[in-house]
A and B are shown apart, each in its own frame.
Chain A
Amino acid sequence: MAVLTPQRSAPGSGAPQRESRRLGFSQRLGRWDVKLSPYLYISPFFILFAITGLFPLGYTAFVSVHEWSLLGGQGDFIGLQNFADVLAHPTFWKSLVNTLSIFVFSSIPQVIIAITIAALLDQNLRSATFWRMGVLIPYVVAPVAVSLIFGRLFADQYGLINSVLNTIGLDSIAWHGDRIASHVAIATMVNYRWMGYNALIFLAAMQAVPRDLYEAAVIDGAGRVRQFFSITVPQIRATIIFVVITSTIGGLQIFDEVRLFDATGLGGPDRNWMTTVVFLYDTAWGNQHSLGRASAVAWLLFLLIVVIGLVNFLVTQRISSAGPTKKSKRKSNTGGNS
């Protein structure tokens, strides 16, 4: 528009008004096209997000300040009472600790193992596609099936793992009795399912690393391990951050594995492996039937994820500005692309 104005005023009294207006209008259309079209094209995503993400988020906030039973529907406005009830509930805190503990047992080994697998797959392998697809197979298996298989493995009395332990003379592990053991068992299911997926993401990033860097390193006499830590890891830093963030969010929302870990699916008699999302489910659809309180849990969980996301973000910023200047410049490019 700023460009148009002087053009229009330039002919001033000379040129006929009609023609210049028509020109101006079609030009304006063109401008709008250039400026607005991209937003228009991307808008379906945001409209859908508003309907399926933003609206439920807001409505959940509305529900969370009311008494609201599953069948009875909306009750009285009670302010922050639901939040107070939830925060005073010892099981809520227990579920938070469980969630964080399962998250630590799943995300950290997951990222480390995935990056190792990716590094191995990045070598010159025969029938590379076969191996690459192979690591993705667990991802294709439905979570319910994974849980069924692992249920047999981790059964206390007649489970495969305990049988093997017994044959080699070790004591059985109380997978459903010991708190840490149950977390390890659940984290194993999560890891099994997500390791291959993350490995492929790492692999894609590794293949984008310029090969001449490695050639230069070889000439300088760097070994495989040195190459991995000095070239591969810094080069795929942006991808590592992406994987860490997605697996953090996912780790805070573990549900299926817990539901199917025993017959009741509520984290055992002591709630030893009940995650916060399962606590939320139990509040709404369990005996309490309180959608109000469940919404309060949902919001608390949302805030927790935001906080952890922010921490993630800050740590990321530190990491990306910590490297040598030349490298960080190149890295920020990669970051923009992915």
Chain B
Amino acid sequence: MLSSTRPTRRTAARTLQATAGVAAVALALTACGAAEGSEGGSEEDGPITLKVATFNDFGYTEEMLAEYTEEHPNVTVEHVKAATTDDARSNMTTKLAAGGEGLADIEAIEVDWLPELMQYPDLFTDMADPELDGRWVDWKVQQATTPEGKVIGYGTDIGPEAICYRADLFEKAGLPTDRKEVAELLGGDSATWEDYFAAGREFVKESDVAWYDSAAGTFQGMVNQLPAAFEDPESGEPKDLGENTEVKGIYDEITASVDDELSAGLEQWGDDWVAGFQNDAFATMLCPAWMTGPIEQNSGGIEGWDIADVFPGGGGNWGGSFLTVPASGENAEAAKELAAWLTDPAQQTKAFESAGTFPSQLEAQDSEAVQSFTNPFFNDAPVGEIFSTRAQNIDGAPYKGANYFAIRDEVTNALNRVDITKSTDAEESWTEAVEKAAALG
């Protein structure tokens, strides 16, 4: 396989040298890893080193980890950060597949990896602990609980969704700009997607700007509200997409809005999407707590972003992470204790202050630090308070089985064909998605 997965073109000889080099480095690394692991020892109170592997920025500062060592003098905590979630994921899956050699004692995971990892609960230590009952919002715990009741990770942050909007563009189109009035415009506490798209139709009548950024992004917010979108929770078997009226309903609603030019036709995270922030391409977007960061980064020099405390169709969560303890680790018990400490409301509040990761712990959400937090870029919106309310509006975690993402990606592709490449019409594209979903397996 090596011979054909070579990412770039080189002559055979040079590739061989390169591969050999990588192999040598890899060997050396594994050797180091093994040595460190055995150093730990299995004695109860002997000195141990715990490795914590996270990605992006979890907000775990050096001072925080030093604090833990102060409380537990025999434990040294080593923090390894991967730059992107993709890096962290491929690193972790590869090592899990290799039997756990070289994994950190605590591995951070993203909620989207769960459907896959839940198929192999034996790879993880069961972290269920009656003492921690009620620490998290219920649905966060539910996400990481297997059907047999095993908890494979402790929740860190969550992504409760609100609606971010451009007040300046709203004003030009004659819509209200105050965040309370905008929340009312979109339906207030009983907001529905119909209200959201209706407001959009009003808006585009008066403006050249699109209402939302991407059909696929909006779809993912809507489909996340279905308790069991693509699979039967009883059997875990995929539902027939062709007869899935719920998903088809959402699909029709979105493609109709694309026809009415509500969509800017951008692919999230793509170059056009990033440039779209500077070019007033769209006026609203679904906005999980962590999205405020990218919006601010991409909108340098643009003023007018604000957040409305409203989300159509009830609550919605997008993203969020967990800390797991791989079963292969030598110091599983100590690692579990550290994971429990790291996800303690006190620590997560600090993490929120340092990195803006919105805590999944009820107590942390109610804390003064979170409640009083405002974001100057979003017109001083009380983001802490808004996202806490949004988090409490989420009813439960949707069921996501082994085939969830494969099927969802087919529908997303179908939407992108209509929204971005405009290569087919909505019905034809749906038929194609149904065929492809049927061919999966």
**B-binding residues in A (CB < 8 A):** 45, 48-49, 51-53, 56-57, 59-60, 63, 70-73, 89, 143, 151-152, 155-159, 174, 176-177, 194, 246-247, 249-251, 253-256, 262-264, 268-270, 272, 277, 280-281, 285, 287-289, 294-295, 298, 301-302, 305
Contact partner, A158, options B12, B17, B279, B423, Cβ 8 Å: B279
Shortest Cβ distance from A288 into B: residue: B406
Any chain A CB within 8 A of the CB of B218?
A: no
B 122-145 binary contact with A (CB < 8 Å = 1; else 0): 010000000000000000000000
Given A158-B276, A287-B409: A53 and B120 within 8 A (CB)? no
Instruction: Give chain A nearest CB distance to B239 CB in angstroms.
Output: 16
Tell me the complex Cα distance, A216–B202, Å: 81
Tell me the complex Cα distance, A255–B406, Å: 22
Tell me the complex Cα distance, A49–B406, Å: 37
* Residues of B contacting A60 in the complex (Cβ-Cβ under 8 angstroms): 1-2
Contact partner, B2, options A56, A264, A287, Cβ 8 Å: A56
Any chain A CB within 8 A of the CB of B20?
A: yes
Tell me the complex Cα distance, A269–B281, Å: 22
Q: Is the CB of B420 within 8 A of A177?
A: yes
Tell me the complex Cα distance, A305–B415, Å: 35
Tell me the complex Cα distance, A52–B13, Å: 12
Contact partner, A56, options B1, B7, B9, Cβ 8 Å: B1
B 425-441 binary contact with A (CB < 8 Å = 1; else 0): 00000000000000110
* Residues of B contacting A251 in the complex (Cβ-Cβ under 8 angstroms): 9
Instruction: Give chain A nearest CB distance to B221 CB in angstroms.
Output: 17
Tell me the complex Cα distance, A262–B11, Å: 28
Known: A59-B1, A263-B267; 18 extra A-B contacts, CB below 8 A, are: A48-B20, A49-B16, A57-B2, A143-B7, A157-B281, A174-B421, A246-B9, A249-B9, A253-B4, A254-B9, A256-B7, A263-B273, A269-B415, A269-B417, A277-B5, A280-B4, A287-B440, A305-B4
Tell me the complex Cα distance, A177–B419, Å: 11
Instruction: Give chain B nearest CB distance to A250 CB in angstroms.
Output: 2
Any chain A CB within 8 A of the CB of B96?
A: yes
* Residues of B contacting A277 in the complex (Cβ-Cβ under 8 angstroms): 4-5, 7
Q: Is the CB of A287 within 8 A of B423?
A: no
* Residues of A contacting B369 in the complex (Cβ-Cβ under 8 angstroms): none
Contact partner, A71, options B120, B420, B422, B440, Cβ 8 Å: B120
Contact partner, B97, options A73, A156, A263, A305, Cβ 8 Å: A73
Given A158-B272, A158-B276: A176 and B421 within 8 A (CB)? yes
The B1-47 residues at the A interface (CB cut-off 8 A) are 1-13, 16-17, 19-20, 23
Tell me the complex Cα distance, A289–B279, Å: 39
* Residues of B contacting A194 in the complex (Cβ-Cβ under 8 angstroms): 9
Tell me the complex Cα distance, A52–B16, Å: 7
* Residues of A contacting B417 in the complex (Cβ-Cβ under 8 angstroms): 269-270
Interface secondary structure of B, over-half rule: helix
The B389-431 residues at the A interface (CB cut-off 8 A) are 403, 405-406, 409, 412-417, 420-423
Contact partner, B268, options A70, A246, A263, A268, Cβ 8 Å: A263
Shortest Cβ distance from A265 into B: residue: B86
Any chain A CB within 8 A of the CB of B271?
A: yes
Contact partner, A159, options B17, B117, B120, B271, Cβ 8 Å: B271
Tell me the complex Cα distance, A75–B392, Å: 43
Any chain A CB within 8 A of the CB of B147?
A: no
Q: Is the CB of A298 within 8 A of B8?
A: no
Q: Is the CB of A295 within 8 A of B1?
A: yes
Q: Is the CB of B270 within 8 A of A302?
A: no
Q: Is the CB of B9 within 8 A of A151?
A: no
Q: Is the CB of A177 within 8 A of B3?
A: no
Q: Is the CB of B97 within 8 A of A70?
A: yes
Shortest Cβ distance from B2 into A: residue: A56
Q: Is the CB of A269 within 8 A of B422?
A: no
Q: What are 8 of the A-B contact pairs (CB < 8 Å)?
A: A48-B16, A63-B1, A71-B116, A246-B9, A249-B12, A256-B7, A268-B421, A281-B5
Tell me the complex Cα distance, A288–B276, Å: 33
Contact partner, A247, options B6, B9, B279, B409, Cβ 8 Å: B9
Instruction: Give chain B nearest CB distance to A48 CB in angstroms.
Output: 5
Tell me the complex Cα distance, A70–B267, Å: 28
Instruction: Give chain A nearest CB distance to B113 CB in angstroms.
Output: 10
Tell me the complex Cα distance, A156–B270, Å: 10
Chain B interface: which size bin?
35 or more
* Residues of B contacting A287 in the complex (Cβ-Cβ under 8 angstroms): 403, 405-406, 409, 440
* Residues of A contacting B354 in the complex (Cβ-Cβ under 8 angstroms): none
Instruction: Give chain B nearest CB distance to A291 CB in angstroms.
Output: 9
Instruction: Give chain A nearest CB distance to B404 CB in angstroms.
Output: 9
B 163-203 binary contact with A (CB < 8 Å = 1; else 0): 00000000000000000000000000000000000000000
* Residues of A contacting B268 in the complex (Cβ-Cβ under 8 angstroms): 263
Shortest Cβ distance from A246 into B: residue: B11
Shortest Cβ distance from B92 into A: residue: A71
* Residues of B contacting A49 in the complex (Cβ-Cβ under 8 angstroms): 16
Q: Is the CB of A298 within 8 A of B5?
A: yes
* Residues of B contacting A70 in the complex (Cβ-Cβ under 8 angstroms): 93, 97
Tell me the complex Cα distance, A263–B266, Å: 10
Tell me the complex Cα distance, A285–B87, Å: 12
Any chain A CB within 8 A of the CB of B90?
A: yes
Shortest Cβ distance from B408 into A: residue: A287
Contact partner, A270, options B10, B23, B123, B423, Cβ 8 Å: B423
Tell me the complex Cα distance, A142–B436, Å: 36
* Residues of A contacting B421 in the complex (Cβ-Cβ under 8 angstroms): 174, 176-177, 268-270, 272
Tell me the complex Cα distance, A213–B282, Å: 66
Any chain A CB within 8 A of the CB of B375?
A: no
Any chain A CB within 8 A of the CB of B83?
A: no
Given A253-B6, A277-B4, A298-B4: A51 and B23 within 8 A (CB)? yes
Tell me the complex Cα distance, A69–B337, Å: 32
Q: Is the CB of A57 within 8 A of B276?
A: no
Contact partner, B420, options A73, A269, A295, Cβ 8 Å: A269
Tell me the complex Cα distance, A151–B272, Å: 9
Q: Is the CB of A157 within 8 A of B16?
A: no
Q: Is the CB of A298 within 8 A of B1?
A: yes
Tell me the complex Cα distance, A209–B90, Å: 50
Tell me the complex Cα distance, A32–B69, Å: 64
Q: Is the CB of B406 within 8 A of A250?
A: no
Instruction: Give chain B nearest CB distance to A198 CB in angstroms.
Output: 11
B 246-272 binary contact with A (CB < 8 Å = 1; else 0): 000000000000000000011111111
* Residues of B contacting A156 in the complex (Cβ-Cβ under 8 angstroms): 272, 420
* Residues of A contacting B267 in the complex (Cβ-Cβ under 8 angstroms): 176, 262-264
Given A57-B3, A60-B1, A302-B3: A250 and B8 within 8 A (CB)? yes
Q: Is the CB of B4 within 8 A of A157?
A: no
* Residues of A contacting B120 in the complex (Cβ-Cβ under 8 angstroms): 71-72
Tell me the complex Cα distance, A159–B356, Å: 32
